[in-house]
């Protein structure tokens, strides 16, 4: 069961990393069309903060499986928070900033009344 949870623990951030790379490519093309600064590089920073701590987090999950002495639950929780959740929060913040910079015009289109467009 530990191997399954540790595998899923790695697959989730990897899929988010792939999504960030897709958004980076789309935003880069949109940025060229709209002639705005290259904010798509924030997606690379975001992917780094998301994927860089994964090996350390995976080792933390597998320490009990390998027969190593397990730390106290409070210590292990604090380590997991600082190794996984804090970098993930930083990554999502960078991605959100880049997404707002590129895709702000969509909100105006969505809030526009339906009958106003000349239909």
Q: What is the pLDDT, as a whole number, of residue 64? A: 59
| Chain segment 68-95, per-residue pLDDT in tens | 566 677 777 777 778 878 888 999 999 9
pTM of the model: 0.73
Dump pLDDT digits (tens) for 22-70. Answer: 999 998 998 888 888 888 899 999 999 988 888 877 777 666 555 556 6
What does R_g of the chain's alpha carbons equal in angstroms? 20
Q: What residue ranges do the domains of the chain occupy? A: 2-111
Length of the chain: 119
Where does residue 44 rank: exposed (0-12), middle (13-18), buried (19+ CB within 10 A)?
A: middle
CB-count exposure of residue 87 (10 Å: 0-12, 13-18, 19+): buried
The whole-number average pLDDT for the span 11-15 is 84
């Amino acid at each position: 069961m530990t191997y399954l949870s540790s595998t899923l623990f790695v697959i989730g951030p990897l899929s988010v990393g792939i999504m960030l790379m897709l958004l980076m490519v789309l935003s880069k093309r949109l940025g060229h069309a709209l002639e705005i600064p290259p904010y798509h590089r924030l997606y690379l920073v975001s992917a780094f903060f998301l994927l860089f701590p994964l090996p350390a987090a995976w080792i933390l999950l597998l320490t009990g499986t390998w027969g190593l002495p397990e730390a106290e639950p409070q210590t292990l929780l604090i380590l997991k928070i600082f190794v996984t959740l804090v970098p993930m929060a930083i990554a999502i913040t960078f991605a959100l900033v880049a997404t707002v910079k590129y895709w702000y015009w969509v909100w105006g289109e969505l809030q526009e009344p339906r009958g106003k467009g000349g239909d």
